[in-house]
Structure 1
Amino acid sequence: MLNTPITRSLALCLATSVCGVQTALAAGFMLPEASTAGIGLTNALVANPEERGAFAYNPAAMGFHDGSSLALGTYFVGPNFSVDTASGRHDSEGAEWMAVPMIQGAFALDERWRLGFGVTVPFGLETRWPDGTFPAVSGTRTLGGFSIPLGHPLTSKVEIIDFSPTATYRVSDDLSLSAGLDIYWARQAKLDSTLGTLNGDGHGLGFNLGALYRQGAWSLGAVFRSSATLDLEGDFTPKSSVLVNLGRLARGQSAELEFAVPWRLQLGARHAFDERLAVEFDISRTGWSTFNDIKVRGKHSGAVIFADQNDWNDANAYRLGATYQLDDRTRLRFGYTYDETGQDDDHFSARVPDNDRHLFGLGLARSLGSGLSLEAAYMYVRAVDRDYRGVRDYTGGDLNGSTALAGDYSMDAHLIGLEVVKVF
């Protein structure tokens, strides 16, 4: 059986767009950024009835806006992963900057009903460790008198897009409710190790529910997005002809797997101190415990090709956002988030070298007249350095939680968002 589990590759989900994205901006492999307003406010938007950038976070916010709108934007990510191991300092390789799209439409049917459609990339991570980063699993071993490569965790990614149609109903002047679907498309699943390459794609379906209540200067919001299972199918091709000749691996075979993305719950409260200043505090809960036992099987044989157990924990993020109306045409945004990891030492993986993170955001929106506005934002993400030593000795098999991955891990990222919004 192969030593490199598929989950540690899939957990590296590369949430894609025009080019792809190379780092998760929240703990785990989640990418919650869905609008320029969200970037500036570090995603504290679930209780915001004023910002059209809140639609992607809580579709119920559409009920508090007249007319229709279309937002088109992108954000650019510049990530940095590095680790100090027994073989020295190593940086994860890859493109320095990647682009991710943000699309959100809201269409007014009458005074109460709104339809929305969004395209986002809610999950993603890619790491590319050079061969030799982890000495215990680098190089070769002898099997049957032949030398074969060890299961060094090199490059892996999954590219996922979320298409989200939603409907919003304005129950009263104070309350709006929404419901919708999350249609996930894994455009490409790829695991590239020294033992073989898995390529595939697939789909999954989830749902979302939202509510937004406003009373005077206060507003309260809640949104829930269900977990979803992506059914992926692909082909596994061994890299080592020795393993094929010895009968340890098939020369090529179809494979399938079920990969669960976590559920998400976000609750928030917002207070407008006056016509210029408003502050929101949100708590997000992510169901990382759904990212548990994953097995990849031969499509026809049913035999396990890869197996992995992660046992992550559900985790919280605490978000604070503030908006300030500088003048009739200019709005400023500020945000800070503390995002907890769901990955403990028992199942630490170098393919998802996660830790608690601090997010800092700044944003600007400028009205250009005729219902057109231009928005920009910047976010800095800094993970707490992780000094990982391993909880068990590595004796072969699963790398997660073992001393083979011992090292000092660090990560930070810069993010720049640009968006055009048109109100009809």
Structure 2
Amino acid sequence: MYRTLSTTARLALVGIPLAFAAQPGAKASGFALPEHSAAGIGTTNALVANPDDPGAFAYNPAAMGFHDSSSIAVGTLFIGPSFQVTNSTGTHESQGVDWIGVPMIQGALKVNDRWRLGLGVNAPFGLETRWKTGTFPALTDELALGPIRIPLSPQPLQSKLEVLSVVPTATYRVNDQLSLSAGVDYYWAKSAVLDSSVANLEGDGDGWGYNLSFLFKRDALSIGGSFHSAATIAIDGDYEALSQALVFLGGLLPSQSAELDLNLPWRLQLGARYAFTDRLAVEVDWSRIGWSEFDKIRIETKNGGQLIQEDINDWSDANAYRLGLTYQWRPTTVLRLGYTYDETGQGDDHFSARVPDSDRHLFGIGLGQDLGHGWALDVGYMYVLFEDRDYRSTTPYTPGSADINGTDAINGDYEASAHLFGLEIRRTF
């Protein structure tokens, strides 16, 4: 009997149907943020096959091989999310910050006619959701311990994940038509916060991956591809239980160190671009994110490795289909347009209020202006429309289980949209 109660208590202790997951600020499926340049925002990230625009370096470092100058670009992506759920307790909006700012930095150094070195800094993954207490109805099934009654399914409150990446790359120009690139991805989770109605967890950590890319150009046609490997960030954090009864049942301390592995997915993008005239070019891209890597979250005590929680995510790999258009309006001014249909990798079996993900439509517009004397300015705007998700649990509920799935606690109509604005200044020398 004690073992059953201890397992239930441990599962309820942290209370995360999914620890690190999507939020209204993330603009790709799951919690990925693929927006790495202002030019990419204007084309909804359809830049992997563009040999002409320096804004493509962050998407495909092999593009540096087709540029004869060095450059440095510095900018910021601003994200303004709007997100709400309508359920049995009413209509509720997420209480996250109104605007989120993330960096966009990309440097390119010409070493000689063959070699280029690159360095990028961006935020490829992130999340923030905050739900007020009482947003989701409490379950009627509770654990009774004499006069004490403990809800078996904790309610999500705040989730926050900030991941920065530093991406050094080396590019080799094989010939006039082909360029190849390789590099490493260093990920730093500078902030990871998990709060629920029964426990809090906060920590940070880092991890490594690698990237490969190519770009081929012949006459008006160019074909490009970029791959970022899967990676694991080891998170070390501080755990604090808010329920003394659950601490007793789980055999854990009220406050202690905890650790978990955050598995980041691999990312693949392939594209083809065709310049119909000297002014007009169109690019079509296909992206795929390996969310099957994000199969589970296992949280353990740092000293002793005692299980605190293990959650099965069971996500699927997801696709995005991108269309980008560039038009040289004036000799010093380029216009950009884009549209993307982005699929979610999250099914109903492991849906979470921390992960109210859905398919979405991205609409982008942007402008690039040559300011003279080696200076240029890029601006981009994107509107993201999430398809409404009317979630109704399909998983049979097991009495006494701590799993919030299979209950009506997170049933509801989820709606979201977001505005993105990117501003970037570039110096070529």
TM-score (norm 2): 0.93
Deviates more, 1:247-256 or 1:84-93: 247-256
What is aligned with 1:54? Answer: 56
CA distance in 2, matches of 1:246, 1:347: 26
What is aligned with 1:364? Answer: 367
CA distance in 2, matches of 1:327, 1:273: 17
Deviates more, 1:221-230 or 1:186-195: 186-195
Deviation at 1:138, TM superposition (A): 9.2
What is aligned with 1:31? Answer: 33
CA distance in 1, matches of 2:321, 2:388: 19
Identify if the C-alpha distance between structure 1 residues 65 and 387 changes in structure 2 by more than 3 Å, giving closer, same or farther: same
Whether the 8 Å contact between 2:168 and 2:183 is mirrored in structure 1 is: yes
What is aligned with 1:269? Answer: 272
Identify if the C-alpha distance between structure 1 residues 75 and 298 changes in structure 2 by more than 3 Å, giving closer, same or farther: same
CA distance in 1, matches of 2:96, 2:420: 16
2:93 aligned to 91, 102, 107, which one? 91
What is aligned with 1:416? Answer: 421
Deviates more, 1:140-149 or 1:46-55: 140-149
Show structure 2 runs of 5+ residues with no match: 1-9
What is aligned with 1:76? Answer: 78
What is aligned with 2:201? Answer: 198
Deviation at 1:193, TM superposition (A): 1.1
CA distance in 2, matches of 1:184, 1:401: 35
Deviation at 1:379, TM superposition (A): 0.2
Deviation at 1:139, TM superposition (A): 12
What is aligned with 2:6? Answer: none
Identify if the C-alpha distance between structure 1 residues 297 and 345 changes in structure 2 by more than 3 Å, giving closer, same or farther: same
State the SS of the aligned residue for 1:63: helix
Percent identity over paired residues = 57
Deviation at 1:260, TM superposition (A): 0.5
What is aligned with 2:255? Answer: 252
Look up the equivalent residue of 1:204 and give its one-letter code: G
Q: 1:12-411, aligned counterparts within 5 Å?
A: 12=22, 23-137=25-139, 142-148=144-150, 151-244=154-247, 248-394=251-397, 395=399, 396-400=401-405, 402-411=407-416
Deviations 1:219-249 (A, max 9, x none): 0001110000111111211122343456654
Deviation at 1:195, TM superposition (A): 1.3
Deviation at 1:392, TM superposition (A): 2.3
CA distance in 2, matches of 1:269, 1:261: 27
Deviates more, 1:222-231 or 1:298-307: 298-307
State the SS of the aligned residue for 2:323: strand
State the SS of the aligned residue for 1:23: coil
Look up the equivalent residue of 1:260 and give its one-letter code: N
Look up the equivalent residue of 2:105 and give its one-letter code: I
Deviates more, 1:388-397 or 1:260-269: 388-397
Identify if the C-alpha distance between structure 1 residues 228 and 7 changes in structure 2 by more than 3 Å, giving closer, same or farther: farther
Show structure 1 runs of 5+ residues with no match: 14-21
Identify if the C-alpha distance between structure 1 residues 219 and 154 changes in structure 2 by more than 3 Å, giving closer, same or farther: same
Deviation at 1:401, TM superposition (A): 5.5
Whether the 8 Å contact between 1:340 and 1:356 is mirrored in structure 2 is: yes
Identify if the C-alpha distance between structure 1 residues 408 and 113 changes in structure 2 by more than 3 Å, giving closer, same or farther: same
Task: Give the paired residue count.
Answer: 416
Identify if the C-alpha distance between structure 1 residues 310 and 96 changes in structure 2 by more than 3 Å, giving closer, same or farther: same
Deviation at 1:199, TM superposition (A): 1.4
Whether the 8 Å contact between 2:17 and 2:352 is mirrored in structure 1 is: no
What is aligned with 2:20? Answer: 10
CA distance in 1, matches of 2:312, 2:149: 28
Look up the equivalent residue of 2:323 and give its one-letter code: L
Look up the equivalent residue of 2:267 and give its one-letter code: R
Whether the 8 Å contact between 2:76 and 2:423 is mirrored in structure 1 is: yes
Look up the equivalent residue of 1:209 and give its one-letter code: L
Deviation at 1:143, TM superposition (A): 3.5
Whether the 8 Å contact between 1:281 and 1:319 is mirrored in structure 2 is: yes
Look up the equivalent residue of 2:359 and give its one-letter code: D
Look up the equivalent residue of 1:207 and give its one-letter code: Y
CA distance in 1, matches of 2:146, 2:117: 63
Identify if the C-alpha distance between structure 1 residues 137 and 191 changes in structure 2 by more than 3 Å, giving closer, same or farther: farther
TM-score (norm 1): 0.94
Deviation at 1:148, TM superposition (A): 4.5
Look up the equivalent residue of 1:143 and give its one-letter code: L
Look up the equivalent residue of 1:146 and give its one-letter code: I
Deviations 1:322-343 (A, max 9, x none): 0000011100000000000111
Deviation at 1:321, TM superposition (A): 0.0
Deviates more, 1:211-220 or 1:199-208: 199-208
Whether the 8 Å contact between 2:16 and 2:196 is mirrored in structure 1 is: no
State the SS of the aligned residue for 2:65: helix
Deviations 1:79-137 (A, max 9, x none): 01111111111111121112111000001101110000001111112211211121134
CA distance in 1, matches of 2:391, 2:66: 48
Look up the equivalent residue of 2:386 and give its one-letter code: A
Deviation at 1:299, TM superposition (A): 1.4
Look up the equivalent residue of 1:63 and give its one-letter code: G
Deviation at 1:250, TM superposition (A): 1.4
